[in-house]
């Protein structure tokens, strides 16, 4: 009987979930933004939904979120938090942070000119 270590199993495991890790699939994400000056009468809760690609990087996700929020997000420093982790640096792929379809991302916008 041959015992396989976890490393050996990963080398020999061709399950579909392992092979699909690098596919570019759309992700629908819930965005929660309670920063001052963002909520409007048409969206008093600050909840948004955006669709981005699983291979996107953090800066692409930020741009998608700014587009979803609208004009009030322009020119303001944006921080994204998912699963208690700050999504940084902007060049990192969102897959590094285990962002999955249906996840909630918290968007924190600073006042214009403030970092």
- Read off the DSSP letter of residue 66: H
Contact 54, 24 (CB under 8 A): yes
Domain boundaries defined on the chain: 24-109
Q: Which two tokens stand for residue 102?
A: 């249906």
Asked if the model's pLDDT at residue 13 lies above 90, the reply is: no
Closest CA to 36 of 48, 46, 27, 28: 46
Q: For domain 24-109, is the CATH number 3.10.20.90?
A: yes
Q: Which two tokens stand for residue 31?
A: 């965005």
Following DSSP, what letter does each residue of 43-79 receive, concatenated? BTT-EEEEEEETT-BHHHHHHHHHHHH-GGGTTS-EE
Predicted local distance difference test score (pLDDT) of residue 17: 43
Predicted local distance difference test score (pLDDT) of residue 4: 42
- pLDDT digits over 47-95, tens only? 889 999 999 999 999 999 988 888 888 888 899 999 999 999 999 999 9
- pLDDT digits over 15-24, tens only? 444 444 567 8
Asked if the model's pLDDT at residue 113 lies above 70, the reply is: no
């Amino acid at each position: 009987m041959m015992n396989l270590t976890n490393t050996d199993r990963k080398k020999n495991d061709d399950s579909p979930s392992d092979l699909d890790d690098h596919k570019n699939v759309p992700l629908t994400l819930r965005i929660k933004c309670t920063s001052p000056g963002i909520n409007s009468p048409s969206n008093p809760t600050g909840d948004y939904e955006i669709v981005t690609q699983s291979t996107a990087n953090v800066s692409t996700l930020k741009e998608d979120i700014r587009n979803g929020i609208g004009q009030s997000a322009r020119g303001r420093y944006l921080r994204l938090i998912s699963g208690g982790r700050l999504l940084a640096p902007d060049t990192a792929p969102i897959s590094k942070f285990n962002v999955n379809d249906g996840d909630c991302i918290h968007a924190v916008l600073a006042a214009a000119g403030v970092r």
